[in-house]
Structure 1
Amino acid sequence: MRMPSGARVLVARSPDRAGELVSALRGVGAEPLLLPLIDFEQAGDQHSLDVAFDALGAGAYGWLVISSVTTVRALEAKAAERGTSLSAWLPGSILVATIGPATRRVLESRGVGVDLAPTAQQSGTGLLDIWPDNQGSVLLPQADIADPRLRRGLEARGASVQAVTAYNTVDYPADPRRALPACRPALQQQDVPNGAAALVLTAAEAKAEIGAGRLHAVVAASPSAVRRIHADLAPLGTCRFVAIGRSTAAEAASLGLTVASVAEEPTASGLVAAVVRSLAAQPPPPRQPAVKHPAKDTP
């Protein structure tokens, strides 16, 4: 699998969250560029999160549902406040459900076993499709802007759900005083081939590149990123929009953005394949001189 020659792909993620996708895009011949749009801060209501987290450690819940890597970051921060790790804090009786392979990998790398995860449709809907009925109490830590359908779906299947805000989604960059600690180290020179770090653009620079026809695809990994792309970059012109999954694609369609391709699985390889598909029918035009911002290369 190779990209058309000269393909430049804008990834709407911050450097600390984009390393794997940047490497995968470079591996198939694309030039990735980064556009950080959203970031994450500690939840405003720490008391409610503390109460729920303490109840979790005391064995008050039968299930813990973790829908994102960012939720893992928030829970790890709570465990660290108590001088322990997330795996040590969780009682042996707890069952853990998650969505998507990235979240599962991070949990398992921390010694947290995953008991339930969808393999077909890797989304909240996919988890509901395999959720066993009448499973008792569930703790659902999530973003402040989380879609309520997962909570409602679990309740419809007989679960008693305690939903609590674990983190807030904010414009990039987060306030350093409230920013969640990174779950992975920031993208480093050695993480991408030939030591070439991905260029980081501002929204104004990305819009100018799109207007000049020098960006050929933009990748969004969440509905919140879609909203920022629509607000800051539209119209996209010939730049193809690629979504990580159905909810992201649905948000784009609702805003009038044409979705060129949707990843079959929410992974770096799935996104790369979706970008290749989006560009296959209409390869990028000959490369034009691009705006260079050496000072903004990721360290």
Structure 2
Amino acid sequence: MVSITIDDVPNSNRFKKDSYQSVLLNKLDSLKIPIAIFINEGLIYKTDSISKNFELLNNWIQKEYVTLGNHSFNHLRYSTIGIDSFAHEIVNGESISRQLAKKYKKPIKYFRFPFNDLGKDSIQHSQIKDFLQEKGYIITPFTIESSDWMYNTVYEHYLSIKDFKKAKEIGESYLIKTLEYFDFFETLAKEDYQRTINQIYLCHDNKLNADFLPQLITELKKRQYQFINLENALTDKVYQQKDNYFKKWGISWLYRWQATQKERIENMKKEPSTETIMELYEGILKENNK
């Protein structure tokens, strides 16, 4: 079982580049699987097409297969800005989407932290947990992610220079690496719990997923995965466990539930390597900053 969750909705920059079409949303319509989205309302104002971006968000929210979540207004790091500023980010991040959710008779009860940064220490963790509880939000975990944001940067770079062969290779390597991550975290879950668990996959609203998420879904179906909504995924008892990790880095909840940092580090060292894509990603950033 797996729930597919998509962060940084709506991608207004991509929307403008694609002549005001959301390619990813159009693809999702045909996939017929439940999806949870995490909304950054600040993205509505990132281009000069605010009214069209508003309509794009409306189009996402009205879909029956879409579960709604808040991802803050500006996608800032909680550990950096602190509780007061971040609380403001959460409240601002729901102003439009909550109105639209009411229009379509949907709740917004899930919150995912930008960068999955829950705070730099136990004090920050406790402060924001209490605030979100007061606001009626459920902190949304993930168990699997595969650095699609990094692959996307490289993928879009090759598309921009019209090296379509290389771009296709990057997209295909994203698929292969993501399936490796599914295998890795399934194995880790079985080692820790002696059974399969309801997995939650984290990815982003980007060009890469617009082009390759349908293929990933097809590959997962071949592996007999069933796609469930976020609410059903969270009924697995593993999600009732205590988070034992009090640093700012956005690691999988399968690591957060482990008792010691030593255990986490030992398992992280066994993860599929992203060294190749990281080198390409860092090279592109360096080139762009010249």
**Which of the pair is proportionally richer in helix?**
2
Between Structure 1 and Structure 2, the one with more strand by share is: 1
Which has the higher Rg, Structure 1 or Structure 2?
A: 1
Q: Same fold (TM over 0.5)?
A: no
Q: TM-score, normalised by structure 2?
A: 0.28
